Amino acid sequence: MEQKISNYISASKNIKISDNSKKIKIAILSSFTINGLDECLKVKSAELNIHYSSFIGGYNQYNQEILDSNSSLYKFDPDITFLIIDIRKILGNFFHFAYSFSEQERKNVIEEKIEQIKNLISNFQNNSDKKLVLSIVNPGTYSINGILENKSKFAIKDMINKLTSELINSAREQNTFFFHDFDLFIRKNGERNVFDYRQFFIGDIQIAFSFLPYFADELMSYIKPSLGLNRKCIVLDLDNTLWGGVVGEDGFDGIELGHTPNGKAFVEFQKQLLALWQQGIILAINSKNNFDEAMKVIKEHPEMILREKHFASFQINWNDKAENLNRISEEVNIGLNSIVFFDDDKINQERISHEFPEVLTIPLPNDPSQYVSILDNLNDFNVLQKTDEDFMRGQMYAEQRERKKLQKSVSNLDDFLKQLDIKIMIKKADQFLIPRISQLTLKTNQFNLTTKRYQENDIQEFTRDSKFDVYCAQVSDKFGDNGITGVYIINKNERSWIIDTFLLSCRIMGRGVEDALLSQILINAKNAGVQQVEGEFIPTQKNEPAKNFLFENGFKKESKYWIFNLNNEIKFPNHLKVETEK
C-alpha cells in the first residue's frame, strides 16, 4: 500500500541527500492539474539516494515549452521529460460528441492529432537529445452508443486505439522516445479509483490524489534504469516459496506443487520467474534445507517449472541466510543492490532487511496466490532498451557455474585460463552496440577505472567526434558466449591518448581479458605514432578491484594521471586470442 499524498508532500520538504548520490533532472509537462506528482517522485528518488531536481511546466503549457527552442524547459535541460496529456483535451468536442461527426471526419481528426503530437515529439528531439516519456491519460472511454459501440465504424475507442498505436510505433523506432501505457495503469488500479469526478470538477484533476503515488511509481520505472538502478537477480527460498510445504518433513511426494489450489499458485509463480529468466533476470537459491533432498525436487519433480540450469547459484544448507546471500553475491559477482529477495519466513525477511538494507526484501504474505501479483507489480527489473546480453544473461550465468567447476578441478590458474580457450572480438561502436555500451557504463562498478556514466546520446556524441574512439569487447570461451562485456573510450591527442573510460563486466574479471584490452590500446596508440597513453583511476566505494590495474601493467604515476611510455615493452597475455572486427 502507498502512503497518502500529504505524507509525500510533507516528506519532500525534509529530504537530505548524501554527497555520493546519483543525480537526475526531471521535467513534468501536463495538460491538466497534477500537483503532488513532483513531491512523490522526489521522495521516491531520495529513498534510492537519488538527488532529484525538477522543472514543472505551467498548467496546459506543454505546447509552448516544447515548441519554443528558448523555453525554460530546454534551459533546464532535463534528463527525462514526462509529457502527460489527457485524452479530453486531445480530442476536444470529439470526446463527447464523436457521433455528431461523420466516420471520415473522425478519421481525419485522429490523423490530424497524430501529426500534431508527432510534431511535438520531433520538435523536442530537435532541441534535446534526452529522453521523452509520453503518457496519454484516458481514464476509461464512455460511449453514448452503449452496447452498439462495437458495431460502430471507427468508434470512439477505435479513434483512441489508432492514436495510441501510431505513437507506440513511433516509440519502437526511436531510442529516446517512450510511450507509457496508461491503459495498463487503469486496468491495474481501476477507473473508479484513478478518476474522481469531484476532484476533476474542482480543479481539472484527472488522476485522483490518492493514486498519484501509484502513478509516480510507474514513472520511477523510467528513472531507475536511466541511472542503472534496476535490479537483475532474484534470490529465492524453496519451502513455501517455490513449492508448498517443507520437503525435509513432507517428502518429495508430499510437497504442494500443481494439482491443489496452493500447488497451482506455486507453479504459476515459477512460470513468471522463468519468463523473467528468459528476459535476462538471474535466479539463485538461498534455502535452509538438505541439499540432496532439495535438488531431487528441482531435478525430478514433474511439476517443477524451474530446473537446475535456470539457477546461477545454489546456497542450500543450514547456514545463516545473510551469510548465504553474501556468497551468492560473490559467486555471481553482482552487488547486493542488484538483488531482490523472496522468502516466506518473516524472521528471514527481517534478518536480511536489517543486515542488507540495499537488498530489496519482499514481504511475502502467507497466501501463495498473491505471489504472482507481487512479482508483476515490481518495477525494479525494467530496462530502457533490451540488448542481446540481457536475453542471454540467465544462460550465461549457468555457463559460469561450469567454469567454476573447471576452475576447482584444475590445480593452477594458468592451466585453467589455457583450458578456457578465451577469444576476444573487439568491435567499434555502432548504432546496434551503443545501447549495450551505455548500459555497461551505467551499471559497471567493480572493474571500472573512472566510473563515468554515459547515456546513449553521450556515446552517440563520442562516435561522431573524430577525437574519440569507442570500442567494446565480445568475450567467448569453451563454455559459451559472454556477450559484450568490456568497453573502452579513448580521447586521442597528437602526442598522447587519454583513457576516458575502461571497464569490464564483473563476471569475466580475472581471466586476463582486461590485460588484453589494455595491451590492444597501447599497441594501437604506438602504431598511430603516439608517444604515451594516459590513464586515471578515480576511486569509489566499489571499484577497489581496478585500483592497481594501471600500475601492474607498467603505468607510472605522474600527478593525477598514470602514464605509459610507448617506448617501453607492451606485454600481452598469451592464453587468449584477440581479433578486431573489420
How high is the pLDDT of residue 84? 97
The pLDDT value given to residue 541 = 82
CA 174 to CA 399: how far, in whole Å? 34
pLDDT in the model for residue 403: 72
**Which has the closest alpha carbon to 239: 309, 305, 288?**
288
Question: What's the pLDDT at 371?
Answer: 96
Residue for cell digits 537530505? 16
Helix or strand holding residue 427 (H, E)? strand 422-428
| Cα distance between residue 508 and residue 545, in whole Å | 12
Strand partners, 339: 233
Residue 184: exposure state from Cβ atoms within 10 A (0-12, 13-18, ≥19): exposed
pLDDT at 564: 95
The whole-number pLDDT of residue 219 equals 97
Please give the Cα distance from 229 to 536 (Å, whole number): 25
CA distance 507 to 518: 18
Compute CA distances 417 → 155, 171, 332, 510, 513, whole Å. Answer: 65, 44, 19, 9, 11
One-letter amino acid for residue 103 of the chain: E
State residue 80's pLDDT score: 97
Task: State the SS3 of 46-110.
Answer: HHCCEEEEEEECCCCCHHHHHHCCCCHHHHHCCCEEEEEEEHHHHHCCHHHHHHHCCHHHHHHHH
Structural contact between residues 242 and 266, judged by C-beta atoms closer than 8 angstroms: yes
Contacts of 375 (CB under 8 A, 6+ apart): 269, 272, 273, 276
Element at 178 (helix H, strand E): strand 177-180
Supply the Cα-derived Rg of the chain in whole angstroms: 27
Per-residue pLDDT 10s for the chain (582 aa) are 788 999 999 999 988 887 778 899 999 999 999 999 999 999 999 999 999 999 999 999 999 999 999 999 999 999 999 999 999 999 999 998 988 999 999 999 999 999 999 999 999 999 999 999 999 998 766 677 777 777 888 988 899 999 999 999 999 988 899 999 999 999 989 988 999 999 999 999 999 999 999 999 999 999 999 988 889 999 999 999 999 999 988 889 999 999 899 999 999 999 999 999 998 899 999 999 999 999 999 999 999 999 999 999 999 999 999 999 999 998 888 889 999 999 999 999 999 999 999 999 999 999 999 999 999 999 999 888 777 777 777 777 777 777 777 677 666 667 777 788 889 999 999 988 999 999 899 888 889 999 999 988 899 999 999 999 999 999 988 888 888 999 999 999 888 999 999 999 877 888 889 999 999 999 999 999 999 999 999 998 888 889 999 999 999 999 889 999 999 999 888 888 888 887
Q: Write down the pLDDT at residue 358.
A: 93
Residue with grid cell 513531491, as numbered in its chain: 39
**Residue with cell string 532541441:** 127
Nearest by Cα to 40 from 3, 79, 14: 3
**570-575 long-range Cβ contacts below 8 angstroms, 24+ apart:** 570/519, 570/522, 570/523, 570/526, 571/515, 571/519, 572/515, 572/516, 572/519, 572/523, 573/512, 573/515, 573/516, 573/519, 575/414, 575/417, 575/418, 575/420, 575/422, 575/512
Burial class of residue 47, CB neighbours in 10 A (0-12, 13-18, 19+): exposed
Taking the CA atoms of residue 348, residue 352, residue 353 and residue 355 in that order, the dihedral angle to the nearest 10 degrees is: 130
> At which residue does the C-alpha cell 559484450 appear?
484
- Dihedral of CA atoms 97, 98, 100, 106 in degrees, nearest 10, equals 150
